Structure 1
């Protein structure tokens, strides 16, 4: 019984993670849209781009984006991102460890590109 509950909880978590941007916009979860963009290292969407998805709440999006990009910009994972071929869009510039992040990413990217 306990295993079934745990399995259902994990499944619910996984299903929640695969929500598309359109689904999140439809449900009004602008924070999660911002978080997903940030944690994937995508550049921040403009208000115009958000408005195309529906009744955008820019402040909620910005809050989520800031949290996501802060997680993404961890220099301890930058090398792995580069060596796996993940392109860096420059979203960490201006962050406290941006230079270290960029250097580690470039080191991994150089190995990936060879």
Structure 2
């Protein structure tokens, strides 16, 4: 009975460790997605580490998916009109120039 109890404790301890690593990976993805969808610059490995987030690849995946949503040229005017600064995260994308032009138009209207 004592051996069964020890095995059960070891098994549960192993499961708890796996849960925290899964949680940390989802945190990294979520943080990346939120940074991307807000048009923020991508965080470096050092910045993530200082925040206690591991999983650079999960962060990168979330970030690229968030930026893909943010960089919609059809929403760029509203982003500029709301007064949100543009950090250039869409410049490397296919519609980056169109996004910037629409954002500038909204930014100009915001400042008038």
> If the length of structure 2 is used for normalisation, what is the TM-score?
0.76
* 2:107 alignment counterpart: 109
- Which SS does the other structure have where 2:54 is aligned? coil
After superposition, what is the alpha-carbon deviation per residue over 1:47-74, rounded to whole angstroms, capped at 9, x for unaligned?
Answer: 0000011151100000000000000000
Q: CA RMSD in A?
A: 0.8
Extract unaligned runs of 5+ from structure 1.
1-26
Residues 1-114 of structure 1: pairs in structure 2 closer than 5 A: 27-28=23-24, 29-114=27-112
- The runs of at least 4 consecutive aligned structure 1 residues that moved more than 2 Å come to none
Structure with the largest fraction of helix: 2
Extract unaligned runs of 5+ from structure 2.
1-22
